[in-house]
């Protein structure tokens, strides 16, 4: 059961609560059995008019056992649930922390709904493993064994009936329940994941689906999945109920068996009739204590299936090789590439091929080229977002393979083509990294990027739905101004801005990045005169490198692009 190894480790960490809950659970169970058997004995004894002190003693013991049972049951509930919730939180953090270092490329390949179903639903299914699978057999078997040993002093035959009952109830009933659910394994989890995937896709593509008239079809499919999930959950509930009913039936059957065998023994004179009521009460209580065994197979299968789904995620995903070297903080970063080639997983063609370049520390570089020529991919390689790269890529003369990814990210001030905005206030969205920035400073920055009409308490909707693309770009720009780091990687940071605002923002950018290394991917070819070098790309290759003047003099690819742009403007 290696699938459950994450769970076993988490259980080991919660061993104190687990041991206390087992101990209190055992005390509560035994106190319950003793309480009811003693009540049976008290009733029988009363018939023979015993001395008053005997009755007082028995009644006091029954009361005391009641108190012990209640207190230990409370302790059991408290510690077992505390252990369960701590396990759940450990599982969540373990799974999440294993996901975090995975390459974004791998994460992007996952369907978000399915991944969410795994992170939330499957992890939650695992929480029951302790409470409903690992824990009940320990309690049930220890209570049974204690009861059988004590009963054997009264009658070995009744003790044998208990053993038979234990085998039927603790093993037979779960085996029958297990057989009935073999075919159904994982149906709920699979449907839940499908529903989550379909629903997220519908939410993300709502407007397009509506425009292209496919919304109704999508809604129907989602509704069908939802009803199939309800059916599967209902089937699961029915199976659980069937197991519980079978268990109740067997509990009463075994109590009748105790009554019949006990009556025969009394008739034969081999057992005192005083004990009969006591033994029947014992049977009813002890078999009732084992109710959790009937639902155990269902929870076991669910947990194992959930663990398997989670493990597939972790097994498929390749963790980046550990790297120990760090980029020096606040030192401008020089970048060298020698014959670097790269292709996305599963892609037959090279996205980048034979890239050799030198970007001196503190220089300003523009990357231009046709759409799809590999400009963004090149930036992503510098951020070490893709682990498998051919050739040599060095930052400050350290091979990227040896560099710790986090240390690169700490140094980088990045604007991607799509910047994410969270639901919250504008202030929350600006202060992603640090909260020690005054409102006055934030308002000043907003004014510098022509957003003085915005207020810090303005509400931002999920994914920045109520912001224009240009506003998003300027807010992303403020975000990187608030960061520290000496490597600026900007992927078309001003593509949605008008010319005047763009120039204003770029001026601000050059002021802040004066001594730093700056690489900017740009579609527009205006304002590139101030760059130290321009890298021109086409179909994954570098076709030209030089300053603006050099490239214009050369009259090559860049010159043609520039001419096309100018013709378009005229
Ligand atoms: N996650 C991905 N998986 C597979 N292929 C990808 C992925 N991202 C990009 N590509 C492919 O890699 C190639 C280069 O893409 P890239 O985004 O680097 O180009 P680009 O020059 O930045 O384009 P644009 O100017 O349109 O942003 C494209 O052909 C694209 O289809």
User: What is the C-alpha separation between 548 and 569, in angstroms, rounded?
Assistant: 19
In 269-328, which residue ranges form alpha helices assigned H by DSSP?
Answer: 276-288, 292-316
Whether 377 has a pLDDT exceeding 60, the answer reads yes
Q: What is the pLDDT of residues 152-195, one digit of tens each?
A: 999 999 999 999 998 888 888 888 877 776 566 667 778 887 88
Could you identify the residue written with the tokens 């300053």? Answer: 547
413 lines ligand 1 (CB under 6 A): no
| 565 C-alpha to ligand 1 centroid (Å) | 22
Measured over the CA atoms of residue 380, residue 386, residue 392 and residue 397, the dihedral's sign is: positive
Q: 465-469 contacts: CB < 8 A, separation 24 or more? A: 467/421, 468/496, 469/496
Residue 127 to residues 26, 143, 229, Cα–Cα distance (Å): 21, 24, 21
Which residues are CB-contacts of 253 (< 8 A; sequence separation ≥ 6)? none
| 398 C-alpha to ligand 1 centroid (Å) | 26
**In the chain, what is the greatest distance between 2 CA atoms, to the nearest angstrom?**
121
Residue 103 is predicted with a pLDDT of 61
Residue 557 to residues 132, 316, 353, 535, 551, Cα–Cα distance (Å): 69, 42, 18, 11, 8
Domains and CATH numbers, the chain: 2-316 (1.20.1560.10), 335-569 (3.40.50.300)
Q: Are 55 and 106 in contact (CB under 8 A)?
A: no
For 128-139, the DSSP string reads HIIIIIIHHHHH
- Interior CA angle at 65 toward 64 and 67, to 5°? 65
Residue 337 is predicted with a pLDDT of 96
Of all protein residues, whose CA lies closest to atom 4 belonging to ligand 1?
344
| pLDDT-derived band at 419, boundaries 50, 70, 90 | confident
Q: What is the pLDDT of residues 425-477, one digit of tens each?
A: 999 899 876 667 889 999 999 999 999 999 999 999 888 889 999 999 999 99
Which residues are CB-contacts of 154 (< 8 A; sequence separation ≥ 6)? 271, 275, 279
Which residue has better confidence, 367 or 117? 367
Of all protein residues, whose CA lies closest to atom 24 belonging to ligand 1?
371
Q: 548-555 contacts: CB < 8 A, separation 24 or more? A: none
Measured over the CA atoms of residue 302, residue 304, residue 309 and residue 313, the dihedral's sign is: positive
- Backbone φ and ψ for 338, nearest 5 degrees, come out as -130, 115
Provide the mean pLDDT of the chain.
86
Total Cβ atoms within 10 A of residue 567 = 8
Which residue has better confidence, 111 or 259? 259
375 lines ligand 1 (CB under 6 A): yes
| 418 C-alpha to ligand 1 centroid (Å) | 13
Q: What is the pLDDT of residues 12-56, one digit of tens each?
A: 888 899 999 999 999 999 999 999 998 988 888 888 777 888 888
| 348 C-alpha to ligand 1 centroid (Å) | 14
| 381 C-alpha to ligand 1 centroid (Å) | 12
3-state secondary structure of 487: strand
Question: Which of 108, 340, 352, 375 should be mutated for ligand 1, with most atoms under 8 A from CB?
Answer: 375
| 492 C-alpha to ligand 1 centroid (Å) | 14
372 lines ligand 1 (CB under 6 A): yes
349 lines ligand 1 (CB under 6 A): no
Question: Which of 351, 379, 539 should be mutated for ligand 1, with most atoms under 8 A from CB?
Answer: 351
Could you identify the residue written with the tokens 């009933």? Answer: 173
Give the E-state strand segments of 36-185 in sequence order: none
User: What is the C-alpha separation between 484 and 476, in angstroms, rounded?
Assistant: 14
Angle between helices 15-47 and 276-288 (to 10 degrees): 160
| 340 C-alpha to ligand 1 centroid (Å) | 16
List beta partners, residue 393: 337
Residue 259 is predicted with a pLDDT of 92
- Give the atom of ligand 1 at the shortest distance from the alpha carbon of 373: 21
Of all protein residues, whose CA lies closest to atom 28 belonging to ligand 1?
372
- Nearest alpha-carbon partner for 439 in 454, 451, 448, 427: 427
């Amino acid at each position: 059961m290696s699938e459950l190894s994450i769970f076993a480790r988490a259980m080991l960490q919660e061993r104190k609560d687990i041991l206390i809950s087992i101990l209190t659970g055992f005390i509560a169970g035994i106190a319950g059995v003793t309480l009811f058997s003693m009540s049976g004995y008290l009733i029988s004894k009363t018939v023979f008019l015993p001395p008053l002190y005997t009755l007082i003693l028995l009644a006091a013991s029954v009361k005391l056992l009641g108190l012990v049972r209640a207190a230990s049951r409370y302790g059991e509930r408290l510690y077992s649930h505390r252990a369960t919730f701590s396990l759940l939180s450990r599982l969540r953090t373990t799974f999440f922390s294993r996901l975090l270092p995975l390459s974004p490329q791998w994460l992007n390949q996952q369907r978000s709904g399915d991944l969410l179903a795994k992170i939330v639903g499957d992890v939650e299914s695992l929480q029951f493993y302790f409470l409903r699978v690992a824990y009940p057999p320990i309690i049930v078997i220890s209570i049974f064994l204690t009861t059988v040993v004590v009963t054997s002093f009264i009658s070995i035959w009744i003790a044998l009936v208990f053993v038979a009952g234990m085998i039927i109830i603790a093993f037979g009933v779960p085996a029958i329940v297990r057989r009935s659910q073999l075919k159904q394994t994982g149906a709920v989890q699979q449907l839940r994941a499908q529903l989550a995937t379909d629903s997220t896709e519908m939410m993300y593509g709502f407007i397009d689906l509506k425009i292209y008239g496919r919304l109704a079809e999508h809604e129907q499919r989602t509704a069908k999945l939802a009803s199939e999930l309800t059916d599967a959950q209902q089937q699961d509930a029915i199976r659980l109920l069937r197991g519980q009913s079978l268990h109740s039936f067997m509990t009463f059957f075994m109590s009748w068996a105790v009554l019949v065998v006990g009556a025969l023994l009394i008739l034969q004179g081999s057992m005192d009739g005083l004990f009969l009521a006591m033994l029947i009460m014992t049977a009813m209580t002890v078999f009732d204590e084992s109710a959790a065994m009937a639902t155990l197979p269902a929870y076991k299968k669910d947990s194992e299936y959930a663990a398997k789904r989670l493990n597939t995620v972790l097994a498929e995903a390749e963790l980046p090789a550990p790297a120990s070297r760090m980029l020096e903080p606040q030192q401008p970063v020089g970048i060298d590439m020698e014959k670097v080639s790269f292709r996305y997983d599963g892609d037959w063609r090279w996205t980048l091929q034979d890239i050799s370049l030198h970007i001196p520390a503190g220089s300003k570089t523009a990357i231009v080229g046709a759409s799809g020529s590999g400009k963004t991919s090149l930036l992503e390689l510098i951020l070490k977002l893709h682990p498998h790269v051919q050739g040599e890529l060095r930052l400050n003369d350290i091979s990227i393979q040896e560099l710790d990814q986090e240390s690169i990210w700490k140094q980088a001030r990045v604007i991607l083509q799509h910047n994410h905005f969270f639901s919250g206030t504008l202030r929350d969205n600006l202060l992603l990294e640090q909260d020690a920035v005054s409102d006055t400073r934030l308002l000043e920055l907003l004014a510098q990027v022509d957003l003085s009409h915005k207020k810090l308490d303005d509400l931002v909707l999920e994914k920045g739905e109520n912001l224009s693309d240009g506003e998003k770009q300027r807010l992303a720009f403020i975000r990187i101004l608030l960061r520290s780091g000496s490597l600026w990687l900007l992927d078309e940071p001003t593509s949605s801005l008008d010319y005047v605002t763009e120039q204003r923002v770029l001026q601000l950018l050059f002021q802040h990045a004066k001594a730093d290394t700056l690489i900017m991917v740009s579609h527009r070819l205006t304002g590139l005169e101030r760059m130290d070098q321009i890298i021109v790309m086409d179909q994954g290759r570098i076709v030209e490198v030089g300053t603006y003047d050099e490239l214009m003099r050369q009259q090559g690819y860049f010159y043609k692009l520039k001419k096309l742009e100018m013709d378009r403007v005229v």
